[in-house]
Amino acid sequence: MATVSPSEVLVEVLNGFGGNGAAEAAATSLHSLGFAINGTGNASSFDYADNVIQYAPGGLSGAYTLEAYVTGTTQIVESDQVPAGEVDLVLGSSYDGIADD
């Protein structure tokens, strides 16, 4: 599992379980750890049980880096829908905050 510095990871945080302000709070925590934040919003649905980290082809190391800080059950999925150089974090109902190390 190759990782990179958090400062090399551009993250968009999406709320996938409906928790009020969850995406914004997670983005703030990730930014304080050095991650670059590309924005926040709602996922296509609020039916996510697990967190999902989606990465563009070639971006697996950024996904692994992000996974190290996300608490709760997390799946990592390659997606050609994610812009190159970006990693999308969809928060699921298993989300339990951002770890600080």
Quickly list DSSP for 44-78: S-S--SSEEEEE-TT-HHHHHHHHTTB-S-EEEEE
**pLDDT per residue over 45-54, tens digit each?**
999 999 999 9
pLDDT band at 100 (very low <50, low <70, confident <90, very high): confident
| C-alpha of 64 from chain center | 10
Give a yes or no: residue 100 inside a domain.
Answer: no
Give a yes or no: residue 99 inside a domain.
Answer: no
Residue 94 has pLDDT above 90, yes or no: yes
pLDDT for residue 78 = 97
- What is the total count of domains within the chain? 1
**pLDDT per residue over 37-75, tens digit each?**
999 999 999 999 999 999 999 999 999 999 999 999 999
pLDDT for residue 41 = 97
Give a yes or no: residue 34 inside a domain.
Answer: yes
What's the CA gap between 97 and 71, in Å, rounded? 6
pLDDT for residue 14 = 98
Domain holding 14, by residue range, is: 6-91
Give a yes or no: residue 77 inside a domain.
Answer: yes
Q: Please name every residue paired with 54 in a beta bridge, in sequence order, or none if there are none.
A: 77, 88
- Percent of residues, the chain, with pLDDT higher than 90: 95
pLDDT for residue 2 = 82
Give a yes or no: residue 29 inside a domain.
Answer: yes
